[in-house]
Amino acid sequence: RINADRLQETIHHTCQWGAAHRYGSGPAETGMSRLSLSDDDAQARRWFAEETQKLGCNLVVDQLGNMFASKRGSAPNPTPMIAMGSHLDTQPRGGRYDGILGVVAAVEVLRTLAENGYKTHNDVGAVNWTNEEGARFPKSMMASGVWAGKIPLEQAYSLPDIFDPSVTVKSELQRLGYIGDVACSSVGYPLGAHFELHIEQGPILEETGRKIGVVQGGQAYRWFTVTVNGRDAHTGTTPLKSRSDPLLAASKMIASSNSIAKNLGALASTGVFKIPPSSSTNTIASEVTFTLDIRHPDDAVVDEVQRLCFESFQAIAKEDGRGVQVNWTLDTDSPATKFDSDCIKMVEKAATDLVGPDGWLHITSGAGHDSVNTSSQCPTTMIFVPCKDGVSHHPEEYCSPEDCALGAQALLESVVNYDKL
Amino acid sequence: RINADRLQETIHHTCQWGAAHRYGSGPAETGMSRLSLSDDDAQARRWFAEETQKLGCNLVVDQLGNMFASKRGSAPNPTPMIAMGSHLDTQPRGGRYDGILGVVAAVEVLRTLAENGYKTHNDVGAVNWTNEEGARFPKSMMASGVWAGKIPLEQAYSLPDIFDPSVTVKSELQRLGYIGDVACSSVGYPLGAHFELHIEQGPILEETGRKIGVVQGGQAYRWFTVTVNGRDAHTGTTPLKSRSDPLLAASKMIASSNSIAKNLGALASTGVFKIPPSSSTNTIASEVTFTLDIRHPDDAVVDEVQRLCFESFQAIAKEDGRGVQVNWTLDTDSPATKFDSDCIKMVEKAATDLVGPDGWLHITSGAGHDSVNTSSQCPTTMIFVPCKDGVSHHPEEYCSPEDCALGAQALLESVVNYDKL
Ligand SMILES: NC(=O)NCCC(=O)O
Ligand SMILES: NC(=O)NCCC(=O)O
């Protein structure tokens, strides 16, 4: 049995590093801002290293700072571990559960197994994946993507901080001493399976009154950075027809991407919109950069939204005054994913044992997760627990202590079931 | 006769403080970034104080850092001076002529009068007005507005830096030692007249092949800061209908303001668009702030564009998902202005003497100028000279040495004509 109180204490203990955006007076009533490879992230990493080593785990850090803590099983030789993984980095205005719950629960499962003297056959362990959020370095699930062979290591190393291009993933790994020797790949550090406990980040479990989501896979998504170039000009003396106004064009593009996605039942969202720091009320900006995030469960629909958006952007670029230039780069590409049926069966069994057959639900993830990457290299699935009002990427993100503990218990039992299998 | 070479040397000498945005290899081929009350602005101010004092002027600094340098005339008692004024501050990506030409030419006129032993009847002098651009502290023609009684002193003092709200006009004036004792008002420091030489900042003189614009007045304009509030949410798990997305709403508002202005033959422009620094690709922003600058020669049309824009903004705020909140503040309000007919006649006479009756043009200013404010307190007009391609608020803003000198000569003769009158 998971110790629900200790699980809560541990979650909030680790949230001392990066606590931000207070919304209430209670000690845990803040959100988080623990950007990947920040000083706060390094503190949380040190905690992970110490706790797992106390439990007798062997800790390996790979070239991208991924942290693998494995505990030997009873099999005569070491086996690729059955991993429980997630991430300790957060959004800049994130909450206390997204990613954090998965890693802390993994440690709690290891503690519970140790306390009960339960010996698995295979090695089991916990993983902390680097830069899952893609918030600071805009490629989500970055290090699990490199591990899975989807992203070249050098590309990840050279990713710049989205607001400070003088800093890269590599320079921050170096600064914090988190570049390990082991190759970041499923050959360098193979896994036997990957189970990830996570808050749902959406409203479905809560709305249907279920406690556990047995995750079938993840929807497809693609991220772009769109750059629109124009020309500085005086807002009072430059006729509309003589302008080359990137801020106006970008605004129209964002409105257009939203209506294209709406028509196709997809999602298109812009979270970041940047103008040069030398901007003023009475000057037309010279350049605008914005992000575009397109999602749908079906890869073909993501393709279609993308095609229609960039067709529309090119038309908008010619629409006003002297026109603007528009260019884009693909930052993240995560196709639709189906998880492993054996892993799913183990979670179904654990869920039925814990909450009965009507207490859980099959669900598809709207968000990307490291499990989407690991699933191409090892049997993988995820366990979702409800979060209040489906709110995530927000300081007030919340999962009740009971639901956290239930999720951790399901994680423990799924891993034990899988180990027996 | 104005010394054209010395005028050029002086312009580029003063542009050492704040030179930025190099676009060619020549020594003067940079733009400027000399924001109001920055360290560079303080250097330019010190130059102005020294040069005018060398010429025997009496220098007065008022409560808002406006600098008045006056030279006694031959009248038995001091008279309110015939002022030649403009500003030494620039846009963050501005050029070497906007404002600078007017102040440097004023000093050059004083030098020319002194060298020739020409004694005016009235006191004459030069003025450097604080924060004309409204780029750093978003109220344009700020200090001339206070001098003219249109803006309360305390409101100007408390204006925050648009990107760093911890700094205000007052704190920067204090830091630089530029809060004087004299009241900032036309009682504290009365002027007999105000003549301002400025680049046109638009294309009309160049397109019509004229050398001098005799300015009849300025068009009306109003600046707003619009704030749109929504709610952080995950871009992958939050259905469009559950969102409260201020970035999407702001984009639609900007597109809408443009089309409203276009329909009415007016201008509407957004130069600044801000999201919280804690933004990321996969999070809906919580708040967006943007500026709106509406202009037309007719006050009633500005009213109408404003009314239609805010009607449209309120409708857009309800359009998508759960809606957003929209609020706005008025930052600058500059009604349409007519300049003084006597002053205009003096400039017409000087222009006809210099370039003949077909070499100049009546013109209305698209931009705001300190003269728009002084004109409510003393006889005022402006002299425009052409600038290349009508480009301004851009590093490559350019006025030829001949046109600079011609403008300064017209300024000298207008002031001498007015003094005789
Ligand atoms: N779980 C999560 O928020 N991951 C970040 C990647 C995404 O935006 O889906
Ligand atoms: N001349 C000038 O650019 N003044 C700034 C105020 C305005 O935007 O018109």
d(CA A272, CA A274): 7
B84 forms beta bridges with B126, B195
Strand B81-86 relative to strand B191-199, pairing: parallel
Contacts of A25 by beta carbon, 8 Å cutoff, 6+ apart:
none
d(CA B4, CA A203): 73
Burial (CB count within 10 angstroms: exposed 0-12, middle 13-18, buried 19+), residue B390: buried
Contacts of A111 by beta carbon, 8 Å cutoff, 6+ apart:
A3, A6, A55
d(CA B68, CA B393): 26
DSSP state of B339: -
When scoring B232, B245, B264, B290 by the number of chain A Cβ atoms within 10 A, the one with the most, hence best to mutate, is B232
When scoring A232, A248, A254 by the number of chain B Cβ atoms within 10 A, the one with the most, hence best to mutate, is A232
Please name the residues between 128 and 187 in chain A that touch chain B, using a CB distance below 8 Å: 133-136, 138, 140, 162-163
Name which of A235, A366, A391 is nearest B269 (Cβ-Cβ): A235
Residue with tokens 């189906």: A338
Start-to-end CA distance of chain A, whole Å, equals 21
- Residues of chain B found within 8 Å of residue A34, distances taken between Cβ atoms: none
Report which residue type is found at B334.
Answer: S
d(CA B101, CA A359): 77
Q: What chain B residue is nearest to A224 in terms of C-alpha separation? A: B281
Contacts of B144 by beta carbon, 8 Å cutoff, 6+ apart:
B66, B85, B129, B132, B370, B372, B373, B374
Residue from A89, A132, A199, A222 whose mutation best tests the ligand 1 pocket (most atoms within 8 A of CB):
A132
Q: What is the largest CA-CA distance in chain A?
A: 81
Please name the residues between 27 and 56 in chain A that touch chain B, using a CB distance below 8 Å: 33
d(CA A380, CA A372): 8
A220 forms beta bridges with A296
In this complex, do A247 and B392 lie within 8 Å of one another by their Cβ atoms? no
Residue from A97, A293, A369 whose mutation best tests the ligand 1 pocket (most atoms within 8 A of CB):
A369
Burial (CB count within 10 angstroms: exposed 0-12, middle 13-18, buried 19+), residue A149: middle
Residue pair B150/B334 in contact (Cβ under 8 Å)? The answer is: no
* pLDDT tens-place string over residues B211-269: 999 999 999 999 999 999 999 999 999 999 999 999 999 999 999 999 999 999 999 99
pLDDT at B216: 97
Q: Is A276 on the interface with B (CB under 8 A)?
A: yes
d(CA B325, CA B89): 35
Report which residue type is found at A329.
Answer: T
Rg (CA), chain B: 23
Q: Is A273 on the interface with B (CB under 8 A)?
A: yes
Contacts of A383 by beta carbon, 8 Å cutoff, 6+ apart:
A195, A196, A197, A198, A212, A213, A214, A215, A347, A351, A407, A410, A411, A414
Any ligand 2 atom below 6 A from CB of B367: yes
Q: Atom of ligand 2 at shortest distance to CA of B140? A: 6
- Residues of chain A found within 8 Å of residue B394, distances taken between Cβ atoms: 231-234, 283
Contacts of A198 by beta carbon, 8 Å cutoff, 6+ apart:
A86, A98, A99, A101, A102, A369, A382, A383, A384, A385
In this complex, do A295 and B236 lie within 8 Å of one another by their Cβ atoms? yes
d(CA A220, CA A334): 6
Burial B348-372 (b: 16+ CB within 10 A, else e): bbbbeebbeeeebbebbbbbbbbbb
For A106-175, strand residue ranges (E) read: 124-128
Any ligand 2 atom below 6 A from CB of B368: yes
Helices B100-115, B4-14: axis angle to 10 degrees equals 140
Kindly identify the ligand whose nearest atom is closest to the C-alpha of A134.
Answer: 1
B63: three-class secondary structure by DSSP: coil
Q: Which helix (H) or strand (E) holds A19?
A: strand A19-22
- Residues of chain B found within 8 Å of residue A203, distances taken between Cβ atoms: 242
- Residues of chain B found within 8 Å of residue A393, distances taken between Cβ atoms: 232-235, 280, 282-284
For A230-357, strand residue ranges (E) read: 233-234, 267-269, 273-274, 283-284, 287-296, 325-334, 337-338
Contacts of B218 by beta carbon, 8 Å cutoff, 6+ apart:
B334, B336, B337, B364, B365, B366, B367, B368, B369, B371, B372
Residue pair A377/A148 in contact (Cβ under 8 Å)? The answer is: yes
Return per-residue pLDDT of chain A as tens, 421 residues: 999 999 999 999 999 999 999 999 999 999 999 999 999 999 999 999 999 999 999 999 999 999 999 999 999 999 999 999 999 999 999 999 999 999 999 999 999 999 999 999 999 999 999 999 999 999 999 999 999 999 999 999 999 999 899 999 999 999 999 999 999 999 999 999 999 999 999 989 998 999 999 999 999 999 999 999 999 999 999 999 989 999 999 999 999 999 999 999 999 999 999 999 889 999 999 999 999 999 999 999 999 999 999 999 999 999 999 999 999 999 999 999 999 999 999 999 999 999 999 999 999 999 999 999 999 999 999 999 999 999 999 999 999 999 999 999 999 999 999 999 9
Q: Shortest Cα distance from B188 to chain A (angstroms)?
A: 30
List, as one string, the DSSP characters of B129-140: -S--S-SSSS-T
Ligand 2 centre distance from Cα of residue B269 (Å): 13
d(CA B39, CA B33): 11
d(CA B258, CA B237): 33
Per DSSP, helices labelled H in A264-335 are 299-319
Burial A85-100 (b: 16+ CB within 10 A, else e): bbbbbbbbbbbbbbbb
Q: Atom of ligand 2 at shortest distance to CA of B366? A: 9
pLDDT at A349: 97
Ligand 2 centre distance from Cα of residue B43 (Å): 22
Judge if pTM exceeds 0.95: no
* pLDDT tens-place string over residues B309-363: 999 999 999 999 999 999 999 999 999 999 999 999 999 999 999 999 999 999 9
Say how far residue B341 (Cα) sits from the centre of its chain.
23
Return per-residue pLDDT of chain B as tens, 421 residues: 999 999 999 999 999 999 999 999 999 999 999 999 999 999 999 999 999 999 999 999 999 999 999 999 999 999 999 999 999 999 999 999 999 999 999 999 999 999 999 999 999 999 999 999 999 999 999 999 999 999 999 999 999 999 899 999 999 999 999 999 999 999 999 999 999 999 999 989 998 999 999 999 999 999 999 999 999 999 999 999 999 999 999 999 999 999 999 999 999 999 999 999 889 999 999 999 999 999 999 999 999 999 999 999 999 999 999 999 999 999 999 999 999 999 999 999 999 999 999 999 999 999 999 999 999 999 999 999 999 999 999 999 999 999 999 999 999 999 999 999 8
pLDDT at B278: 84
pLDDT at A306: 98
d(CA A181, CA A61): 7
Kindly identify the ligand whose nearest atom is closest to the C-alpha of B384.
Answer: 2
pLDDT at A248: 98
d(CA A309, CA A301): 12
pLDDT at A250: 98
- Residues of chain B found within 8 Å of residue A138, distances taken between Cβ atoms: 280-281
In this complex, do A280 and B255 lie within 8 Å of one another by their Cβ atoms? no
Contacts of B292 by beta carbon, 8 Å cutoff, 6+ apart:
B223, B224, B225, B226, B257, B268, B269, B270, B309, B328
Q: Atom of ligand 1 at shortest distance to CA of A368? A: 9
